Structure 1
């Protein structure tokens, strides 16, 4: 047999007409709407503390870890090799690096360290940045953050768990709380038969002599099942109660939290969600007996604001990817970034991103002001549901449009847009679907008239700034005067329009005229359409596009 020479691969073409590798970014310095929003809404310390995170989170190496965490999703380890129950979730090291990025900076606890003094604004801005690294791992960050106001309802519980919840550290080890440096929290509310209707829950709480309880039942979705403790709802003699369920009982043995399986989800693949059984699980009551739903609402309000912020962060990442591609790619003799239709699409995406961020930051300021200001307290009651509903309704269409800007390369898994597209629906479903959000908005407006007063005051601050805005306010006022039955039938329209009008008011007051006026015409004018890229003929595209990456 003759010897064969090694095969030589000849280049068939040059790789050209592709955008350059984006490289490391400073996610605060390059985000003018975020920098302006923080300067407007937050104390100076917030931007100063965020600056190192923004620089670090923009490194390309984090995207490599995000890809790994999604490519190798968590695995359930039910038993050890001897057949003993483990009920543990195994993650790739990349996931733990992502958790260290968030917890090491204390972003899960910053709202409570600086409560009433910019803490919520710091948390929301950090979540907006962390989402641009990888949205999935932000779920346990959100729930750990949101658990704190519930823990404060019991001084003994707070003394044990509070310091570890606030620790600037991440400790993934499965150990009793006394052996942990830091703790994370999950939640387990919904059951198969009820979903959002938690009043139909059947999990039973049986009292022990020492005041603790034993839980027996199932939970259809348990978020972040690797957490050190869970807040859950169960039924006792007084009704539906709220309970804290630790991974380990006080005697150091594993608690009766049996992980049945991990959910195989459309997106959010770096994060685990599980079906669980409570098999005589030890738990502590928190809050008043029979008032579990009211008790847990302290947590839900927090998680809803986070669920409104995540799509804003995802929009920013998708916008940045689309604009970077358009600037580095030519078609039909000129750059995509110079094509009139592409400019209109990306400018419209930029408007949506800026409007969503503005509403998130304003809501966070309301959270910070709520303890000492009636106006801010009224806004804090209403705005999370508004923002969560509308930002998440815009998210999937936004991701699809941004993906289309890249063409086929946007649809492949190497690009983050495919991951963002699969991720987009989850925050709409989590913590209450769209209909639940709209019904909550109607409930707040019906039971808390001070919320309507506060919202009208906010909207009135921009009255007279744009004719389409003024006309939209007039129509909104007429609809709000309808009967309760009519209001519920129009709940989706009202919730959408309230959110859009508030976004418009914020942009008219605080953004450049090019942004605020174009947003009003495109969203509230005669030719308003849900289709991205339909902007007024004379829209100042250059001024809007210049704000994407100044």
Structure 2
């Protein structure tokens, strides 16, 4: 009887790719480590990639996004507790971020390649569940600031660098490891932190020996509220100067700090992670850095968080490209597999080019973060190219994830699949820590503040580009354009300059690290006058070059 009402056979339907090693299949990562004699990291990353790539791991990522956090403002007796409850799978990914050294490794030692290792670790984990990497990013970025506060660093060092996950909501002194969040933006200002109205009043209420303050005001985006402490920008009451404060969730005397969660944000993506609106009601905090130096202090932290925005966007590009390519290998359309359809090959080839360019740029930037204390050129790239890369790669991740979703058709446009999740996640990296316009303006500020930074960048690029006359000419043309335009309404042209700059950087890095066919394909479709179209897939390469580029998506 059941067979009588069986209306059809299900065929030509395929699940997203799982049960594969995210690291072992990544051509760019493996080549980069070998090129720079960093093979000692391969076995660790192999283990991480294998664990993250299991079907169970991807299912955990799906669950903790579909079943996101909930606010529990009061206990059953009516006491204010301001707790956020998470799905158990969220804690799994938080634990992995700690255990694998994603947060702590760059600060544990001076081992060569430590920042590249951390960057690869971040890209791998972010492909499966990026929400947990928001508190991981803020914690990692807070460490350089806290290191400058000798006494506070002595108290927190072991907890910040611990690889043990401690989810308990108790005072910092009683915890094995801790997380640090950020509280910067307010309703009236957003990225304009100088307009903040939260007031910090001097106090010595707990007699800790620190410069104590009581904060009153609000934060419009407070991420993530269950962190053990937050770095907060506020205006000092008696002099109006902005400063940065360390504000713990629990006061040193064991009382809960009066930071009240008003609500959790209903975000488009990043649903496993909690972002909140809060009010400070004489919340206790201590001064970090100098009075009047709140903005420079927080910008220093933002430099690190912006790198992780680039890494997160790279992870989205990587995972979207891998999933689209894998699906195209199996799906039959109009009598052929998708991968054999000429137009689909053009689309996938351009996804592959974006994947390789973003990956190389991310790892190169991580290397420059590691070497910026000893190299002026590395410092110049860190200051000038980090915001340029954040602007470009984060926006490219939105485009790539949308194109990759189309490969799946309607199956990609459902919330319980990874393609829709990648697409909805992509915009947050572009918005968080400064939107596109802010990034381009930061590039301009950097080159105006210290013109030598851009000179060092151009000198480095010209040294690479000497192998290719066309690329060399592109650099010279951009230098001349800058000279002609820097004094004439330059701010309005910031996006144009930033786009051309980062494309040249990516082309140079591909020339240095990738097969010549990959570089030439990127150059011809992004910089050369032979560029044919605007959307991904509208540029046609030879069948031979297409095959080479596609072969690099999944390392066999």
What range is the shorter-chain TM-score in? over 0.9
Q: Name the SS of the counterpart of 1:277 in structure 2.
A: strand
Match for residue 547 of structure 2 among 539, 542, 545: 542
Match for residue 183 of structure 1 among 162, 169, 178: 178
Q: Name the SS of the counterpart of 2:285 in structure 1.
A: strand
8 Å CA contact retained: 1:113, 1:119:
no
Residue 228 of structure 1 pairs with residue 232 of structure 2: no
Q: Name the SS of the counterpart of 2:489 in structure 1.
A: helix
User: Deviation of residue 111 (structure 1)?
Assistant: 1.3
Distance 1:151 1:21 in 2: 42
Instruction: Identify the residue that residue 287 of structure 2 maps to in structure 1.
Output: 285
Distance 2:110 2:269 in 1: 33
Instruction: Identify the residue that residue 431 of structure 1 maps to in structure 2.
Output: 433
Instruction: Identify the residue that residue 86 of structure 1 maps to in structure 2.
Output: 81
Q: Name the SS of the counterpart of 1:61 in structure 2.
A: helix
Q: Name the SS of the counterpart of 1:424 in structure 2.
A: helix
User: Deviation of residue 283 (structure 1)?
Assistant: 0.2
Distance 2:406 2:479 in 1: 38
8 Å CA contact retained: 1:205, 1:215:
yes
Residue 524 of structure 1 pairs with residue 530 of structure 2: no
Match for residue 322 of structure 2 among 304, 320, 323: 320
Match for residue 380 of structure 2 among 362, 378, 381: 378
Instruction: Identify the residue that residue 73 of structure 1 maps to in structure 2.
Output: 68
Q: Which runs of 5+ in 2 are unaligned?
A: none
Instruction: Identify the residue that residue 486 of structure 1 maps to in structure 2.
Output: 489
Instruction: Identify the residue that residue 245 of structure 1 maps to in structure 2.
Output: 247
Distance 2:37 2:275 in 1: 34
Instruction: Identify the residue that residue 418 of structure 2 maps to in structure 1.
Output: 416
Of 370-379 and 76-85, more deviation after overlay is shown by: 370-379
Distance 1:491 1:21 in 2: 39
Residue 50 of structure 1 pairs with residue 45 of structure 2: yes
8 Å CA contact retained: 1:521, 1:536:
no
Distance 1:293 1:313 in 2: 29
Residue 123 of structure 1 pairs with residue 118 of structure 2: yes
Matches within 5 A, 1:382-397: 382-397=384-399
Q: Name the SS of the counterpart of 2:464 in structure 1.
A: coil
In the alignment of these two chains, the number of paired residues is: 545
Matches within 5 A, 1:496-515: 496-515=499-518
Q: TM-score, normalised by structure 2?
A: 0.95
Distance 1:466 1:116 in 2: 34
Q: TM-score, normalised by structure 1?
A: 0.96
8 Å CA contact retained: 2:64, 2:272:
yes
Distance 2:467 2:6 in 1: 60
Change (3 A) 1:450 1:45: farther
Of 430-439 and 479-488, more deviation after overlay is shown by: 479-488
8 Å CA contact retained: 2:16, 2:323:
no
Distance 2:111 2:365 in 1: 13
Q: Which runs of 5+ in 1 are unaligned?
A: 1-5
Match for residue 348 of structure 1 among 347, 350, 358: 350
Instruction: Identify the residue that residue 269 of structure 2 maps to in structure 1.
Output: 267
RMSD of equivalent CA atoms: 1.6
